[in-house]
Structure formats: C-alpha cells, structure tokens
Amino acid sequence: MTTAGAAVGRLLVCPTPIGNLEDVTLRVLAGLRDADVVACEDTRHTRVLFDRHGIRTPLLSLHEQNERARATELVRRISSGEVVALVSDAGTPLVSDPGFAVVRACLAAGLPVEVLPGPSAVVTAIVASGLPAERWRFVGFLPRRRRELEDLLSDSDETLVAFESPRRLAGTLALLAEHEPARAAAVCRELTKLHEEVRRGTVSELAGHYRESPARGEVVLVLGAAAAARAELSEALQALREIVAAGAKARPAAGAVARLTGVAANELYRELMREGQ
C-alpha cells in the first residue's frame, strides 16, 4: 500500500497468465498485493487469479467501454499518492487489450508508469511456431474484410503473428492457400492450458485439418514470410556470398547489399553466419 507522506503514486502494469495460473512472476504477485487498487478488464476473471494466490486488493473494472472515464479517475488517484496496478484478462495489458488510454493519461500527467515483464501469447506463439524469430510483426486481430486481409498477408517480408477467431480460422487458412499453399504456418491454440495445441505445416495442410476439425478456444496464427519476400532474401544472400567469396568482409558487404536490395543488413549477415556454422 502507499506509504504515509508519499506525494505521488504510480501506475504498475502487470502481465497475468495466459492460461496456467502458475505462470505469474513473484514480482507481479507482490505488486498486486501491495497496490491500493487493481484496475482489471473483468473483475470476475481476475478474482480467480486472486483467489488462487491469496490476494485481497480491491478490484476496479476497466474495459473498452469505460476506459477513458476510468483513466481520468485513476490519474486523480495516482496523483493523490495511490499505487494502481493494471491488468487485463490474460497476458500483457495494451497488447490487443484495454489499458492504452490509462497509460497515455498517466504519461501526459507526468506520473510514473512501471511495466513489469511477464506472460504474452504473442511471444509464446512465435517461439513455439518454429518459424524465424529474428524479424516478426504482430498485427493484432486479423481484419474481417477479404481485401484488407489479402493485402495484409500477401506482402509480409517477416514472420507475422496475429490473433484469429476459431470460427474464422479455417476460412483464413483457405484464403491463404489460394494464393500460396506452401507457405509455412503454425496454429497455436489454448497456449499453456490443458488442451494446448501447436500444429505446424503449410497453410494448405492446416486449412485442410481445421476444415475437418474446427478449432476451439483462443488461437494465435503465425505465418512465415511470403514467397516474394523469401525470393528477395535468397537473391540478396547469393549476392552477398559472391562478394564475400571475392574477398570482402562480411559485415560491410552486408551493408552494401542491403542498400542495393532493401533487405535488412542484419538479416543478411545473420543468414550468412548461420551458413558458416
């Protein structure tokens, strides 16, 4: 709780488990216990975590519909010296979850904002997918309109991570398979929960599987780079090999090839070093 005489409190952003309730850090538990109030997406959901770990801090609802009003209230409370912890239903707040308005309001008011590390379905999925993790992009929930979805997915030159509805998953994979059936992908479902599933394959294979066996639960879709982007990398890497074979040093050569091709120099250098291992 806030110590006597403290003039200004702080906002404490606390990641919570994405499934297994044991996946919470000691630091987050201490922060939740010591806070004056915990702003949460759904008080009923957060209370399950609190009951599991014996936390009795008062809860205050903060969701998409009331976030702006709550932000004003929480800034006032923090300014008066309170410590406010912010959580979402699962994972790290603000990552496709409420909390952005609160953080922005605190920063605008010059109030301390402390972010604790912890669980994230995005990071868990990218590692579990087995797809390249050097360069990746998180796009939140996939758009519903076909044209927007095609535009988003067709030009990706890095691994792409997205949340998807289990009802729409098979259709999204089928759309991808129309354009590039051999594109590598992974469907990460119910991560850290009892029925966790990570299924890897081509988008064509995955589309067929989920057409016959519809997905249930929360889904994170991970896609490898599009074919055009992989071809650009392959051509740039071949040019780098030839320059290095002619006697150039690898890192400066990677920079020169990057300027000519638009492919990231660090990615070219890493790929070249990996070949030499």
Write the DSSP assignment of 121-146 as a string of letters. HHHHHHHHH-S--SSEEEEEEPPSSH
pLDDT of residue 141 exceeding 80, the answer is yes
Q: Regarding predicted confidence, which is higher, 179 or 117?
A: 117
Q: In what order do the strands lie in the sheet with 197-202?
A: 136-141, 159-164, 219-223, 184-189, 197-202
Average pLDDT over residues 260-276: 75
Query: Do you know the residue count of the chain?
Result: 277
Distance from C-alpha of 23 to C-alpha of 91, rounded to nearest angstrom: 10
Q: How confident is the model at residue 7 (pLDDT cuts 50, 70, 90)?
A: low
Cα angle at 219 between 215 and 222, to 5 degrees?
Answer: 115
Give 178-229 pLDDT, tens digit per residue: 888 999 999 999 999 999 999 999 999 999 999 999 999 999 999 998 765 5
Distance from C-alpha of 146 to C-alpha of 230, rounded to nearest angstrom: 24
Q: How many Å is the Cα radius of gyration of the chain?
A: 23
Average pLDDT over residues 102-120: 96
Average pLDDT over residues 92-109: 94
Distances (CA, A) of 189 to 93, 126, 156, 221, 249: 20, 12, 22, 9, 44
Average pLDDT over residues 98-123: 96
pLDDT of residue 230 exceeding 70, the answer is no
Average pLDDT over residues 136-156: 85
Q: Regarding predicted confidence, which is higher, 266 or 84?
A: 84
Amino acid at 138: F
Mean pLDDT score of the chain, rounded to an integer?
Answer: 89
Nearest alpha-carbon partner for 191 in 91, 45, 42, 43: 91
186 forms bridges with which residues in the sheet? Answer: 200, 222
